[in-house]
Amino acid sequence: MAGLSAEVEAEIRHLEAMIARLEAGEEDPEDFRVFRLKNGIYGIRGRPEHHMIRIKLPVGRVSTEALRVLADVAERYTENRLAHVTTRQAVQLHHVHRQDVPKVLRAVNTVGLTTREACGHSIRAITCCPFAGVSPEEPFDVTPYAEVAYRYFLRHPVGQNLPRKFKIAFEGCATDHARTSIHDIGVVAAKEGERRGFRLYVGGGLGAAPMSAELLEPFTPEEELLPTMLAILRLFDRYGNRKVLTQARLKFLVKRWGIAAFREAVREERRLVKLTASGEDLKAWQPPQDPPSPALPSLPRKPFSFAPGFDEWRRTNLFRQKQAGFYTVLMRLPLGDITPEGLRALAEIAETYAAEVRSAISQNLLLRFVPEEALGGLYESLLQAGLAHPQAHTLLDITRCPGADTCNLAITHSRGLAQALEAHLSTLPLARDPAVRPLSLKISGCPNACGQHHIADIGFYGASRKVEEREVPHYTLLLGGGTREGEARFGQVVARIPARRTPEAVERILRRYQEERQQGESFQAFLDRVGVASFKPLLEDLQSIPSYEEAPEYYQDLGAEGEAFRVRLGRGECAV
C-alpha cells in the first residue's frame, strides 16, 4: 500500500477536526455538510450520525489490493456488511458511523481510490467503457485518455464550484456501453486515417427533464481533447444557471444557446485556454502512451467444466476479446451488492485467472484477459465463492438505485422491487426467450433517475398515491428507452402501477411482445409498430387498489413489509 499524499492527509485531518467540533457543538452543520459532500460523504435517511461513502473506481479500474481494502472497510465499518457497485463506476458503503468515516477515507486512499468530488457541484466520476482495450469494435483503447482526464480534473480549480454536477464518459466501441449520449460530455474514439481523435457530444443528462447529447465536433484531435473539455467546463462555470437548481445542468445551457452558438463559444474559449496555458497544462495535454500488455498468470488447463450451470453461465457471461484466445468474464452482482467475503474471493480469483478487474455501469464487475483454457477452473472458483450468477446484461440483470433504504429523496424501496422482479421473472420460461432475454430493466426510487429508468426497455421510478387517507406505494412505468452513439431515446410513461402488481405488469408486457412480435422484430421496433399507448388497456386492471381491510399488503412497500408505507422525504443531497 502507498502512503497518503500530503494533500489527502490534510483533507482527512481537516475532516476529523470538523467532526470533533461538530460533536462539541462548535461547528456549523451546514459548513460540515458542504465539506463532507465535496468528499463523497452523504447523509443517511433518518440517521444523522451515519453516512454513505461513495468511493470512485478511477475509470472503472480496481486492483486486487483495493478489492481487499474495500472488503475490510465494508466488514468493519458498515452495518449491512455490503459494498454497493453503482451506475457511475463507484462503490458505496452505507451506514458508516461518522467517527469511522476518516478511517474509511484513509484506507481507500492508500490503494489509489478516492472519494473526492464524488458528490457536490463538481466533476463526478469519469466513466469508461468496461471493454475498452479488449473490444473488437474499437479503433483504439480510450482507457489512457480517460485516465489522463481523471487525473487532470481531480481537484482542478474549475471543477470545485460548478453550477451543478458534471458527468463525463469515454467510449471506444460502436456499441454505446458507456451511454455517452446521457452525459454532459461524451467522448467517443474516432480516427482520420491514422490520426487519433474523438467525436465529442455535449449536453446530455437524465433527471426530471432528460435530454440527449448533441454533437459538438465530428473530430477533435487527441492533443485538443483536454483543452476542449476545459473550455466547455469554463463556459459552464461562467454561464450555467446558478439561481435555479433545476435548470443548472449543462444541458439547459446548450438548449438555451443552441448547439451552433455553443459550438462557436467552445472554439473561442478553447483558443483562449491554449493561449493562457501553463507549463503544467501543456505537459498534461500531451497524448498518453498506449498501455503495456497486461501481465498474465500461469494457469492450469481447464477450458470446460461439468459443474452445474456452466453452459448457461458461458452463454451469457462471456465477452470474446480482440486478443485471440482471451475472454472478459462478466460477474453479475444481484442488486449491485457484494459482501466482504465475495470481494476477498474475487481478489484471489482475479490473481489466479485474470489480468485485471473493472466495473461496468450495469453495476457489475468484469474479469479481463481470462484465457479460454482457464474458463472451467474460473467458473468453479466463482461457483464456490457464490459469484457465478448467470444472465449478466440480460433481463434478469436489473439496475437499481439504493432507494428509500438510505436515500433522503427516494419515495420507494427500489431494492425491494428489484428482488421481487428477479424472483418472479426467473421462474418464467419466457425470460430465456432469445428475443426477450436481452431487454433491460432499470429502477429508480424517485424521478431523479439514479437507476437510469429513462433509458431502459422497461423502466420504473417510485411514486405514491393516497387511497382513503392511506398512502400506497406505486411505480411509474416507462417503455422504450435506450441509447446509441449520438442518440438517447427516453422511455414513455405508460401507467402508474401499485408496487405489489409491478412484477405482474412486466410479465404481461413481455408476454404480449412474445406473442405478437413479427419475425426478427426487436422490442423497440415492436413498440414503434404497435405504439406504447397500446399497452395502457393491458395494464388498466392492475391499477385498481382494494381497501386496506381487504388487502393490507398493498399499503406496504416491497422491501419494507410489515410497516405502513409513508413518503418520508428528507433534504436531498444529490444536487448539493
DSSP assignments along 57-112, one per residue: -GGGEE-HHHHHHHHHHHHHHBSS--EEE-TTSEEEEEEEEGGGHHHHHHHHHTTT
Closest to 449 measured CA to CA, from 406, 487, 494, 481: 481
Q: Which CATH class is domain 399-555?
A: alpha beta
Distance, CA of 307 to CA of 310 (rounded, Å): 6
DSSP designation for 129: -
pLDDT band at 572 (very low <50, low <70, confident <90, very high): low
What number is the average pLDDT over the span 122-127? 96
Tens-place pLDDT, residues 368-397: 999 999 999 999 999 999 999 999 999 999
Question: CA 504, CA 420: separation in Å to the nearest integer?
Answer: 10
Q: Say if residue 536's pLDDT is above 80.
A: yes
Alpha-carbon span 170 to 143, nearest angstrom: 8
> Tens digits of per-residue pLDDT, 162-171?
999 999 999 9
**pLDDT tens digits for 481-507?**
999 999 999 999 999 999 999 999 999
Closest C-alpha among 137, 132, 179, 184 to residue 288: 132
Architecture in CATH for domain 6-109: Alpha-Beta Complex (3.90)
Tell me phi and psi for residue 464, to 5 degrees: -145, 155
pLDDT, residue 202, reads: 98
Cβ contacts of 523 within 8 Å, gap of 6 or more:
435, 436, 439, 457, 513, 517
pLDDT at 298 over 80: no
Contacting residues for 6 by C-beta, under 8 A, at least 6 apart: none
Q: What pLDDT does residue 46 have? A: 84
Residue 128 neighbours by CB under 8 Å, 6+ apart? 59, 60, 89, 142, 143, 146, 169, 170, 171, 178
Q: Model pTM?
A: 0.96
Residues 6+ apart with CB under 8 A from 381: 345, 349, 352, 353
Query: CA angle 559-83-294, nearest 5°?
Result: 140
**Residues 6+ positions from 377 with CB-CB distance below 8 Å:** 299, 300, 302, 305, 353
**CATH placement of domain 123-284:** 3.30.413.10
Average pLDDT over residues 224-238: 98
The answer to whether residue 575 scores a pLDDT higher than 60 is no
pLDDT digits (tens, 9 = 90+) for 33-49: 999 999 999 998 888 89
Residues of the chain with pLDDT > 90: what percent? 91
Q: What is the pLDDT of residue 1?
A: 62
pLDDT of residue 187: 98
What percent of the chain is predicted at pLDDT more than 70?
98
Name the band, by pLDDT with cuts 50, 70 and 90, for residue 576. very low
Q: Can you give the pLDDT at residue 396?
A: 97
pLDDT at 294: 87
CATH topology (fold) of 310-384: Alpha-Beta Plaits (3.30.70)
User: At what angle are helices 414-425 and 502-516 packed, to 10 degrees?
Assistant: 40
Q: What b/e sequence results for 330-349 when a residue is b if at least 16 CB atoms lie within 10 Å of its CB, and e otherwise? A: bbbbbbbbbbbebbbbbbeb
Sorted by where each begins, the domain ranges of the chain are 6-109, 123-284, 310-384, 399-555
For residue 129, what pLDDT is reported?
Answer: 98
- What per-residue confidence (pLDDT) applies to 169? 98
Question: Would the CATH topology of 123-284 be identical to that of 399-555?
Answer: yes
C-alpha cell at 197: 481523435
